[in-house]
Amino acid sequence: MLDAPEILEMMTRLRAAYPDARLPRSKGGRDPFRSVVSCMLSAQSLDRNTAAASKALFALADTPEGILALEDAQIVAAIKPCGLYNVKARNLRKMCRAMLDEHGGTVPRDRKGLMSLPGVGRKCADIVLSFTFGEAVVAVDTHVHRVCNRTGLAQGRTEAQTAASLEDRIPDAFRRDGHLLILTHGKRVCRARSPRCDECILADLCETLRET
């Protein structure tokens, strides 16, 4: 894997290359419960489909009590655009019940507490910590997982393993915007299919290219 000076150089280049990769600002702050629900719905779903499902569900209810009061068919119909709707509907109910029974209806503000909620894995927990609570955490999704393992920034067979590896290696100065910087590079250049290696600003640092 890359050493510390190489990692610092890589992240510095990404920040310079993607000045538009900024943490989004939400007027009045982000609602923690909505953030958890939207993140759960985003699993294996395109952003636009997740947005459509979230909007439809929140038009019906946007509290744990409100969602539990809905019929299963109502939840399924609302979240259908994001796929896996039957499984997600069950997890939403379990998550809402656990939040009420174990956390007094309040979204936990730590990773352990968030991951104790049914349907909430490390990726979702870290996204909520970073984007909602402003914690210096680099969430690892499929794009970040891919870029990390290709370049040698971090390694892991799963996104959770890569997240644990990256947490120990990412410079402190990049913990707030690291997720968006790496994600943006993964979407624009280091793509899953047909990566644009010939124009990559990290080509001389990339472990995969060094091995070819």
- List pLDDT tens digits, range 101-110: 999 999 999 9
Amino acid 211: pLDDT: 81
Residues 53 and 123 in one domain: yes
Q: Which amino acid is at 193?
A: R
Residues 59 and 122 in one domain: yes
- List pLDDT tens digits, range 186-201: 999 999 999 999 999 9
What CATH number is attached to the domain comprising 110? 1.10.340.30
Residues 98 and 149 in one domain: no
Amino acid 30: pLDDT: 83
| Residue 159 covered by a domain | yes
- List pLDDT tens digits, range 5-25: 999 999 999 999 999 987 655
Residues 52 and 124 in one domain: yes
Domain that holds residue 157: 4-20+138-210
Residues 111 and 36 in one domain: yes
Of 131, 161, 186, the one marking the end of a domain is 131
Residues 41 and 121 in one domain: yes
Q: What residue has token string 């419960």? A: 33
Residues 116 and 39 in one domain: yes
**Whole-number Å distance between alpha carbons of 210 and 202:** 11
> Domain count of the chain?
2
The pair of structure tokens assigned to 154 is 């971090």
Residues 117 and 52 in one domain: yes
Q: Which of 88, 123, 126, 177 is catalytic?
A: 123
* Mean pLDDT within 37-51: 95
Amino acid 111: pLDDT: 96
Annotated catalytic, 27? no
Task: Tell whether the model's pLDDT for residue 66 goes beyond 50.
Answer: yes
Percentage of the residues of the chain whose pLDDT score is greater than 70:
97
| Residue 196 covered by a domain | yes
Q: How far is CA 191 from the centre of its chain?
A: 17
Residues 6 or more apart from 157 whose CB is under 8 A from it? none
Q: Which of 88, 126, 141, 177 is catalytic?
A: 141
| Residue 198 covered by a domain | yes
Helix 122-131 crosses helix 178-188 at what angle (to 10 degrees)?
Answer: 120
Go through 113-144 and write b for each residue having 16 or more CB atoms within 10 A of its CB, e for each that does not: bbeebebbbbbbbbbbbbbbbeeebbbbbebb
- List pLDDT tens digits, range 161-186: 999 999 999 999 999 999 999 999 99
Of 102, 131, 160, the one marking the end of a domain is 131
Of 82, 97, 131, the one marking the end of a domain is 131
Residues 200 and 114 in one domain: no
Annotated catalytic, 141? yes
Residues 78 and 95 in one domain: yes
| Residue 26 covered by a domain | no
Task: Tell whether the model's pLDDT for residue 38 goes beyond 70.
Answer: yes
Residues 127 and 146 in one domain: no
Amino acid 28: pLDDT: 45
Amino acid 2: pLDDT: 96
Give the confidence band of 210 by pLDDT, cuts at 50, 70, 90. confident
